[in-house]
Amino acid sequence: MSTAEARGVFHRARGRTLDAFPSEKEREWKGPFYFIQGADPQFGLMKAWSTGECDSGGDEWGQETRLTEQAVRAVNRLNPKPKFFVLCGDLVHAMPGLVLPSHNFITRAMPCGHRLFPCLGPLWTLSSMRTKITSYLCWCGHDLAHSRTAGMPWRKEQTEDLQRVLRDVDSEIPLVFVSGNHDVGNVPTPETIEEFQQTWGDDYFSFWVGGVLFLVLNSQFLYDASRCPALKQAQDQWLDQQLSIAGQRKCQHAIVFQHIPLFLESIDEDDDYFNLSKPVRKEMVDKLSKAERLELRSREPRASLAIMKNSSK
């Protein structure tokens, strides 16, 4: 399915909001509801990992396709229907544009020149079904010293196949897309952000559902924005505005979606490839604490964070 065709199927975020949920109708609490969260369909990862070529492989994605189809069928069977289905990044495996490893990426992921770390495969969190595929890959400093080609092979095909599968999601269940590093690059650029926006919609936005404010963030800006500092600054200012509006409207519940979790086990844990740095964690927790009740969700279900203010209510 082409990008143009996808526009007619998916509710793509535009203007920093999602038109599937008119804010005027959704700002008031109307009773309990639920949504489905998934992450890392990452078409192409399994073949790339199995051949030891996670950096450049991934010419097959049949297994990922079957798992995603299974998830779609499970979502469609749910009754009552979920309000929406959110995918928290790494939609396909092939990286965008010219992707160079940042100094931040190298020193944190490989302090001794090489490191064995988990690559998340398709991970679905459904109401009572959770399939997690965890892979392990050895990255070597020598390999990371070479740039990848301008646009990894199969990116277009992986994207089209994922869109084809997601087209079968019940039309009454809107899809919400979150950007990950395989979507905008380990070190995003204005070009990779523009590509994501054209294909999947805005990389950060907000929407209201049933009186709950949902905020979608581009966590790559929090990881390494060295090649697009102005875009990070724009998201920072936008987030401050959103939190201010939430306070003015006395929003009682807010939920943040992003790809990279602030931490995995503890807010004081060491910096790692799969979390954000300690200074960023502190800054984000301090900022998000402005909300009355806030929950942060990422690609890692175990890393959910709840923030609540003391209140006499």
Side by side, which strands form the sheet with 130-140?
Answer: 130-140, 114-125, 36-39, 85-88, 175-178
CATH code 3.60.21 for 25-308 = yes
What are the tens digits of pLDDT across the range 172-212?
A: 999 999 999 999 999 999 999 999 999 999 999 999 999 99
- pLDDT at residue 295, as a whole number: 81
Residue 153 has pLDDT above 70, yes or no: yes
Measuring CA to CA, how many Å separate 155 from each of 62, 94, 257?
15, 5, 24
Residue 136 has pLDDT above 70, yes or no: no
Q: String of b and e for 170-188 (b: at least 16 CB within 10 Å)? A: eeebbbbbbbbbbbbbbbb
140, containing H or E segment: strand 130-140
Least confident of 8-17, 132-141, 153-162, 170-179: 132-141
Residue 167 has pLDDT above 80, yes or no: yes
Confidence of residue 100 (pLDDT cuts 50, 70, 90): very low
What are the tens digits of pLDDT across the range 257-272?
A: 999 999 998 889 999 9
119, containing H or E segment: strand 114-125
Q: What is the mean pLDDT of residues 281-301?
A: 80
> How far is Cα 76 from Cα 169, in angstroms, rounded to an integer?
6
| Domain positions in the chain | 25-308
Q: What is the mean pLDDT of residues 289-303?
A: 71
Confidence of residue 236 (pLDDT cuts 50, 70, 90): very high
Are the C-beta atoms of 188 and 221 separated by less than 8 Å? yes
- pLDDT at residue 301, as a whole number: 59
Tokens linked to 197: 């926006």
Integer-rounded Cα radius of gyration of the chain: 19
Residues in the chain: 313
66, containing H or E segment: helix 62-77
Q: How far is CA 283 from the centre of its chain?
A: 20
Confidence of residue 129 (pLDDT cuts 50, 70, 90): very low
| Average pLDDT along the chain | 81
Evaluate if pTM is beyond 0.85: no
